[in-house]
């Protein structure tokens, strides 16, 4: 079964790999000569700058929030995570509004008779900055968890050996946190390479925008696939680096009985300074764009046509809920398959099944679209010949293909928390159930599932948020008569009706923020 | 005087827990000390105060007659040159053994030589390039020791250095660590809850209870002249001897004093200066010795003996020199 699921998940990537050897389309030479170097350069540049900036924001805010006492610490601790609730393309739209000529910043500054002129954000550097302030929480969360579990004894040991606070950080904490930092940055990079909306809006040509351009601009699917394949190679290289990094040095975990890091008291200017440094990323990544969107929503409130918008909301929620359900179900199947299967190599293969999250949405979309078309053709032929019935396309341009794509992309998001929680279930409990005469399936139903309930719920919520935010994949695969909030916001923004994009954007954020708060509570409790 | 502590106080949780209470003591250079006490006795807090990892509420600490801690002055831990070996070693997991040892040495010439010297001292030549998780617990212990000794501290504190080890390894390592510290010639303080460790390794033992220093004495003096029953109980099980029971032995006690005997200081063969008839209730074999439960009059006593009694009634005797008496 693990094999079946893996194949099911692996089809898009597999298809693209195979297609790589078929050669690209006609305009490939043109693209390769004029555009590809630019795509590569831009994507790598973005990746580099975003890695540096997210590392800076993420590590600094995580360390300050764990090590120091400052104003509003408890609120800021989770405010720092919230930029994740705003999809980066929406942050990009909001900042375009803030820095535009006659935008919010200009207006605010002119109130205090200050004119800085126009700051041009619509460039690759602007894009890198926007993506960084929107994605740094991946590094923040990874580092914060790591720091929280460090022992004060390490710091004390460093102190009695004659070192000060700065040396503790640079010689001990920072090098030790390297795996956590790299882990966070890898997630950031996957998001950066996945991004379509922000890059498109800021007019920066990346791999992902290139895929769209060659498919919808040049009408050449083969070229799009070729680009997707190249992107996939880069992504796999990243994954390999990450795995090697993890395996390179096993750091002995500090024993649980040791004391947690002590929180340093700060006062006066130091306290104000630390508070400012911690507020900054939260403000840039969450509060400022949210304020801009709220402002737009308020000024456009009367013009909003609620009927169609509500319909979009329900379609969005429905699709997200169904996709999340499918994801969790698939993750459970994969888990069962893994547990009841004793063939090691199958389990190794199953690991591939959860790599979907690493593959950009546009690539998955391409990888599903083409095989879907072949499958439909074959099915219609087959049904037509055997039953003489005419039928419509089953996959292509239907919700089924969309859901399938979501499952491929977000299976890992559901699988990882469930596995983590499963590992905490004591094996003895399962043996106890079996010794009481219950079979494996009964045990699974009556013991494991109830114990996993919080994890299943958590997994559902995580996938739900991700599906609500997802743009590139949805844009390609969604049926004509279906609309999601993400696509709605994107279309308004690209039609230069950015003010109208505010309401759908806010609705996406709302569906993201509430569960994030809920999850944070859940994490704190455990 | 290497270290002088003068009326030191330290409380936690707004004074709800008094970890160190009116403690004064003096440590001399070149000697080995043990802070002995149960968990919660304040011995670890005192060590952390000496190292500068905590600040006192009241009182002073002097190192070589220089004030290093008081209510208003605190020389930071990193400036004290006092070594500390942590209970779980606190080795830096991302650094090699050599780099761990080099961590506290200033970047001067001869750093590499010093690391080599330390590796030789703790008998770990050739281990410099390994990581802490690649060596055994006993080896980690020695690395922690080498790391603390490398900057040439004036005093070294070792927090429960043997508590993670099983008893066999414990004895071996105790000797090893002792030899290393003797060779290094540095004043060292062992913090331990194990009386045997304390006795085996130190020139003087300091016994703590509920934040207070009860007694500071050589191991010999501590055993033979304990200042309280509590101190004596660290080494042996004491048998309480109320005046009525003493009377059965024809011993006239002072009613302002309490009397005890160690449970192995009774003689079941009737020898000794004071003897009474005792009924044997039962005998348990614990291997090399026996627990014997006897009844003298109305009093039930649990004794330790090397030989089991042969009859159901015995003459129970003891010597006056073994009797421990304390002011009530």
Total structural domains within chain A? 1
Q: What is the distance, to the nearest Å, from the Cα of residue B314 to the centroid of all Cα atoms in its chain?
A: 38
> According to the model, what pLDDT value does residue B156 have?
94
More confident residue, B137 or A316: A316
Q: Which of B78, B88, B103 lies closest to A164 in CB terms?
A: B78
CA B99 – CA B227 distance, rounded (Å)? 46
> According to the model, what pLDDT value does residue B148 have?
92
> Does residue A324 form part of some domain?
no
Structure tokens at A494: 């690209």
Is 50 exceeded by the pLDDT of residue A375? Answer: yes
Q: Which of B82, B132, B133 lies closest to A160 in CB terms?
A: B82
Is 70 exceeded by the pLDDT of residue A116? Answer: no
Task: Please report how the helices B111-121 and B137-149 are oriented relative to each other, as an axis angle in degrees rounded to 10.
Answer: 140
More confident residue, B310 or A221: B310
Q: What share of chain B is helix, strand, coil (3-state, %, to 5)?
A: 25, 35, 40
Chain B residue nearest residue A167, CA to CA: B103
Is 50 exceeded by the pLDDT of residue B206? Answer: yes
> Does residue A188 form part of some domain?
yes
Q: What are phi and psi of A367, to 5 degrees?
A: -70, -20
pLDDT digits (tens, 9 = 90+) for A145-183: 888 888 888 899 999 998 888 898 999 899 888 888 888
Probe site for chain A from B76, B78, B107 (most A CB atoms < 10 A): B78
How much is the average pLDDT of A232-255? Answer: 65
pLDDT digits (tens, 9 = 90+) for A421-451: 777 776 667 677 777 777 777 777 777 778 8
CA B60 – CA B71 distance, rounded (Å)? 7
pLDDT digits (tens, 9 = 90+) for B141-173: 899 999 999 988 999 999 988 877 777 878 888
> Does residue A126 form part of some domain?
yes
> Does residue A145 form part of some domain?
yes
ipTM of the complex in this document = 0.79
Is A170 in CB contact (< 8 Å) with chain B?
no
How much is the average pLDDT of B45-61? Answer: 93
Pair A309, A300: CB distance under 8 Å = no
pLDDT digits (tens, 9 = 90+) for B258-290: 999 999 999 998 889 999 999 999 999 988 899
Shortest distance between the Cα of B212 and any Cα of chain A, in A, equals 24
DSSP letter string over B63-120?
ETTEEEE-SS-B--GGGS-EEEE-TT----TTS-HHHHHHTTS-SSTTHHHHHHHHHH
> Can you list the alpha helix ranges (DSSP code H) found in B13-88?
43-51
Least confident stretch, A115-119, A399-403, B286-290: A115-119
CA B28 – CA A127 distance, rounded (Å)? 66
Least confident stretch, A351-360, B166-175, B180-189: A351-360
> According to the model, what pLDDT value does residue B277 have?
92
> According to the model, what pLDDT value does residue A447 have?
78
More confident residue, A340 or B231: B231
CATH of the domain at A78: 1.10.3720.10
More confident residue, A15 or B306: B306
> According to the model, what pLDDT value does residue A441 have?
74
What percent of chain A is modeled with pLDDT above 90? 19
> Does residue A386 form part of some domain?
no
> According to the model, what pLDDT value does residue B7 have?
94
> According to the model, what pLDDT value does residue A33 have?
75
> According to the model, what pLDDT value does residue B136 have?
87
Contact A163 B53 (CB under 8 A): no
CA B181 – CA B153 distance, rounded (Å)? 12
Shortest distance between the Cα of B108 and any Cα of chain A, in A, equals 15
Sign of the Cα pseudo-torsion (A414, A420, A422, A425, in order): negative
> According to the model, what pLDDT value does residue A112 have?
73
> According to the model, what pLDDT value does residue A252 have?
46
Pair B83, B161: CB distance under 8 Å = no
Q: Which residue has the tokens 């590796």?
A: B119
From chain A, the residues in CB contact with B103 under 8 A are 158, 161, 163, 171
CA proximity to A254, closest of A147, A160, A170, A169: A147
Residues in B lying within 8 Å of A, measured between beta carbons: 51-53, 76-84, 86-88, 90-94, 103-104, 106, 131-133, 147-148, 151
How much is the average pLDDT of B189-210? Answer: 92
Contact A156 B93 (CB under 8 A): no
pLDDT digits (tens, 9 = 90+) for A476-507: 888 888 888 999 888 888 888 888 888 889 99
DSSP letter string over A201-221?
HTT---HHHHHHIIIIIS--H
pLDDT digits (tens, 9 = 90+) for A60-96: 999 999 999 998 888 898 889 889 888 999 999 999 8
How much is the average pLDDT of A45-70? Answer: 94
Task: Please report how the helices A221-248 and A36-67 are oriented relative to each other, as an axis angle in degrees rounded to 10.
Answer: 40
Confidence band of B319 (pLDDT split at 50, 70, 90): very high
Length of chain A equals 526
More confident residue, B14 or B23: B23
Shortest distance between the Cα of B13 and any Cα of chain A, in A, equals 15
CA proximity to A369, closest of A230, A469, A467, A472: A472
Contact B84 A251 (CB under 8 A): no
Chain B residue nearest residue A151, CA to CA: B90
> Does residue A344 form part of some domain?
no
Q: Which of A154, A162, A176 lies closest to B78 in CB terms?
A: A162
> According to the model, what pLDDT value does residue A350 have?
61
CA A192 – CA A42 distance, rounded (Å)? 11
Pair B90, A156: CB distance under 8 Å = yes
Shortest distance between the Cα of B48 and any Cα of chain A, in A, equals 10
Contact A153 B88 (CB under 8 A): yes
Q: Residue A291 belongs to what domain range? A: 45-207+268-302
Least confident stretch, A43-47, A216-220, B97-101, B316-320: A216-220
Confidence band of A256 (pLDDT split at 50, 70, 90): very low
How much is the average pLDDT of A401-420? Answer: 85
How much is the average pLDDT of A186-191? Answer: 86
Q: Which of A163, A251, A255 lies closest to B94 in CB terms?
A: A251
> Does residue A327 form part of some domain?
no
> According to the model, what pLDDT value does residue B213 have?
94
CA A268 – CA B191 distance, rounded (Å)? 39
How much is the average pLDDT of A410-428? Answer: 78
Q: Which helix (H) or strand (E) holds B215?
A: strand B212-217
> Does residue A166 form part of some domain?
yes
DSSP conformational letter for A68: B
For chain A, give the mean pLDDT: 82
């Amino acid at each position: 079964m693990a094999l079946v699921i893996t194949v099911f998940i692996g089809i898009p990537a597999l298809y693209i790999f195979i297609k790589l050897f078929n050669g690209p389309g006609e305009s490939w030479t043109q693209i390769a000569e004029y555009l590809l170097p630019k795509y590569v350069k831009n994507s790598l540049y973005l990746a580099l700058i975003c890695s540096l900036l997210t590392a800076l924001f993420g590590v600094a805010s995580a360390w300050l929030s764990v090590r120091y006492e400052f104003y509003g610490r408890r609120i800021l601790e989770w405010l720092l995570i919230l930029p994740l609730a705003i999809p980066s393309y929406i942050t990009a739209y909001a900042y375009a509004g803030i820095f535009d000529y006659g935008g919010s910043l200009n207006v605010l500054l002119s109130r205090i008779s200050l004119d800085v002129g126009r700051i041009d954000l619509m460039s690759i550097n602007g894009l890198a900055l926007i993506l960084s302030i929107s994605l740094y929480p991946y590094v923040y969360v990874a580092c914060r968890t790591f720091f929280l579990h460090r022992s004060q004894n390490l710091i004390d040991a460093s102190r009695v050996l004659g070192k000060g606070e700065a040396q503790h950080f640079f010689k001990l904490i920072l090098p030790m946190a390297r795996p956590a930092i790299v882990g966070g940055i890898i997630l950031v990079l996957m998001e950066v390479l996945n991004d379509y909306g922000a890059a498109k809006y800021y007019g920066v040509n990346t791999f992902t925008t290139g895929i769209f351009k060659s498919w919808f601009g040049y009408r050449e699917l083969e070229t799009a696939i070729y680009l997707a394949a190249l992107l996939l190679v880069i992504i796999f290289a990243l994954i390999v680096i990450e795995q090697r990094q993890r395996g390179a040095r096993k750091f002995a975990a500090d024993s649980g009985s040791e004391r947690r890091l002590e929180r340093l008291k700060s006062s006066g200017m130091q306290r104000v300074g630390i508070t400012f440094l911690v507020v900054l990323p939260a403000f840039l990544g969450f509060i400022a764009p949210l304020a801009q969107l709220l402002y737009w929503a308020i000024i456009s409130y009367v013009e909003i046509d609620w009927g169609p918008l509500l319909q979009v909301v329900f379609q969005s929620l429905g699709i997200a809920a169904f996709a999340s359900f499918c994801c969790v179900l698939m993750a459970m199947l994969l888990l069962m398959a893994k547990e009841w299967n004793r063939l090691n190599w199958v389990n190794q293969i199953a690991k591939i099944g959860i790599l979907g999250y690493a593959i950009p949405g546009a690539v998955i979309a391409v990888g599903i679209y083409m095989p879907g078309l072949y499958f439909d053709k074959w099915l219609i032929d087959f049904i037509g010949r055997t039953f003489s019935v005419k039928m419509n396309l089953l996959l292509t341009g239907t919700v089924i293909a969309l859901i399938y794509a979501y499952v491929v992309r977000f299976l890992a998001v559901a699988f990882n928390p469930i596995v983590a929680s499963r590992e905490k279930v004591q094996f003895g409990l399962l043996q106890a159930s079996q010794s009481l005469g219950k079979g494996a399936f009964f045990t699974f139903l009556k013991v494991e599932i109830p114990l996993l309930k919080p994890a299943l719920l958590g997994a559902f919520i995580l996938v739900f948020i991700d599906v609500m935010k997802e743009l590139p994949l949805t844009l390609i695969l969604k049926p004509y008569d279906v609309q999601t909030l993400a696509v709605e916001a994107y279309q308004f923004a690209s039609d230069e009706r950015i003010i109208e994009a505010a309401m759908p954007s806010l609705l996406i954020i709302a569906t993201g923020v509430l569960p994030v708060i809920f999850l944070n509570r859940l994490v704190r409790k455990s | 005087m290497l270290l002088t502590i003068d009326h030191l106080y330290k409380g936690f949780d707004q004074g709800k827990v008094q970890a160190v209470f009116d403690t004064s003591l003096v440590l001399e250079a070149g000697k080995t000390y043990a802070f002995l006490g149960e968990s919660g006795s304040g011995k670890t807090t005192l060590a952390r105060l000496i190292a500068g990892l905590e600040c006192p509420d009241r009182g002073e600490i002097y190192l070589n007659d220089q004030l290093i801690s008081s209510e208003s002055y605190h020389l930071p831990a990193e400036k004290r040159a006092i070594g500390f070996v942590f209970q779980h070693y606190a080795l830096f997991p991302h650094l090699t053994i050599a780099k761990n040892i080099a961590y506290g040495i200033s970047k001067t010439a001869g750093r590499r030589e010093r690391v080599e010297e330390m590796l030789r001292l703790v008998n770990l030549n050739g281990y410099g390039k390994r990581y802490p998780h690649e060596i055994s617990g006993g080896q980690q212990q020695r690395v922690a020791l080498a790391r603390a000794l490398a900057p040439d501290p004036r005093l070294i504190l070792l927090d429960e250095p043997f508590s993670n080890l099983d008893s066999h390894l414990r004895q071996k390592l105790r000797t090893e660590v002792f030899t290393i510290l003797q060779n290094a010639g540095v004043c060292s303080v062992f913090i331990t809850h194990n009386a045997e460790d304390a006795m085996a390794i130190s020139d003087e033992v300091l016994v703590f209870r509920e934040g207070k220093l009860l007694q500071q004495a050589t191991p010999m003096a501590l055993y033979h002249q304990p200042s309280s029953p509590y101190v004596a109980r660290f080494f042996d099980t004491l048998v309480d001897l109320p005046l009525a029971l003493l009377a059965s032995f024809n011993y006239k006690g002072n009613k302002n004093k309490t009397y005890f005997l160690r449970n192995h200081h009774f003689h079941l063969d009737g020898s000794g200066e004071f003897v009474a008839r005792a009924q044997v209730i039962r005998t348990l074999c614990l291997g090399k010795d026996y627990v014997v439960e006897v009844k003298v009059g109305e009093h039930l006593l649990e004794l330790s003996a090397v030989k089991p009694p042969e009859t159901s009634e015995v003459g129970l005797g003891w010597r006056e020199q073994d009797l421990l008496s304390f002011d009530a």
